[in-house]
A = this chain, B = another copy of it.
Amino acid sequence: MTEPLAPGATIGILGGGQLGRMLSVAASRLGFRTHIYEPGALPPAGDVAHLVTTAPYEDSDALFAFATNVDVVTYEFENIPTLTLDALEDHTPIRPGREALRVSQDRLVEKEFLQGLGLQTAPFADVPDMAALATALPQIDTPGILKTRRFGYDGKGQARIMEVGDAEAALAEMQGAPAILEGFVDFSHEVSVIAARGLDGAVACFDPGENVHKDGILHTTTVPARLSAGQRTDAVLLAANILNALDYVGVLGVELFVTPQGLIVNEIAPRVHNSGHWTQNGCVVDQFEQHIRAIAGWPLGDGKRHADVVMENLIGDDMDRVPDLAKDPATALHLYGKAEARAGRKMGHVNRIVG
């Protein structure tokens, strides 16, 4: 399929969390239907989707039925099992494509890919076992951070090594999973670029946002970010570099450390990204619609920002603040419809218009 999808077509989304939910709403704005595939019961995205399949990612019958009911498949998370993708790809296009998933599913592969493009990353070493860790530590130096190569998110699967004596305990935390050791980067702040590439190869970037994390989870994103004109250009060029190298179709999030030595790529996410939620109230076409436009073969929005925005995540019992937040006329609420406000769980976000 290289023709643009016509309104009325069905977009399949793997994963029914808040990103799938907001993708589904954006798809509806363009006249598309969505079909959510999600193993968990009552997914947040199901409240705003035409169809929901509740089945494991290994259920080949359910996958076949899903694939043959949709016109294109996309996803809200990168850790999709290879077998799931194998089962889908004979029947329907998968966008962004599998190369983006292969690269971003594995921190080691991702870092090697980025360095291959001439981009800066944190110093890193492959750590399959204790012997490798012992060899790596003097190269990378402490403090460092041990991370599982796969399946990490929101600070999960990570252990700090402040001094050499922490190494064994840190490796134990990996629970036998292959890991990499990353050196700390001395950065002044973190920014991210939400970039998109269309089916025709056109690239459009949103203005970089500045991220602040709390307890390993994104707390706020502020646009505009503190960046020089040169840094801003660098950020956009490197994002385009990554998109083109992956022959990417869709929205990609690129997290960058700002350092005196230039921008260092922290990680990439082949999907809409929490640090792009501000676009919902700052742009005519937000990151969710941009992603849908890209995977549907439509023209991209230009990413132009019409307001200064501070996005703040509502985590766990931040939900208690909703009645007060609802009173502020400059605050746009975006709640995810999750029943239980567990600690550390992303329940919603607000976009505050500040200028």
> What residues make up the interface of A, taking CB atoms closer than 8 Å to B?
4, 7-8, 21, 24-25, 28-34, 46-50, 281, 284-285, 293, 298-299, 301-302, 304, 306-307, 319, 322-323, 326-327, 329-337, 339, 348, 353
Contact = CB atoms under 8 A, between A and B. Distances in A.
A50 B50 contact: no
Nearest to A302: B329
Contacts of A302: 329
B284 A29 contact: no
A314 to B, nearest CB: 10
A196 to B, nearest CB: 13
Nearest to A352: B284
A306 B304 contact: no
A307 B24 CA distance: 26
Given A7-B319, A302-B329, 12 more contacts: A8-B339, A25-B29, A31-B335, A31-B337, A31-B348, A34-B47, A284-B329, A284-B330, A285-B332, A298-B326, A306-B306, A306-B353
A166 to B, nearest CB: 41
A33 B337 contact: yes
Contacts of A28: 21, 25, 47-48, 337
Given A8-B339, A322-B7, A329-B301, A353 B32 contact: no
A335 to B, nearest CB: 3
Contacts of A50: 46-47
A50 B43 CA distance: 11
Contacts of A47: 28, 33-34, 49-50
Contact of A29 (B7, B323, B334): B334
A286 B4 CA distance: 30
A335 B336 CA distance: 23
A28 B348 CA distance: 11
A329 B306 contact: no
Contacts of A46: 50
A4 B348 contact: no
Contacts of A334: 29
A216 B310 CA distance: 43
**Chain A to chain B: the 6 pairs with minimum beta-carbon distance, closest first:** A31-B335, A302-B329, A48-B48, A47-B50, A299-B327, A31-B337
B336 A31 contact: yes
User: Of A25, A284, A330, A353, which is in contact with the most chain B CB atoms at under 10 Å from its CB?
Assistant: A284
B284 A331 contact: yes
A334 B285 CA distance: 11
A112 to B, nearest CB: 36
Nearest to A293: B326
A332 B284 contact: yes
A42 to B, nearest CB: 9
Nearest to A351: B284
A19 to B, nearest CB: 14
Contacts of A332: 284-285
Contacts of A34: 47
Contacts of A25: 25, 28-29, 48
Contacts of A323: 4
A141 B337 CA distance: 57
Nearest to A25: B25
B293 A29 contact: no
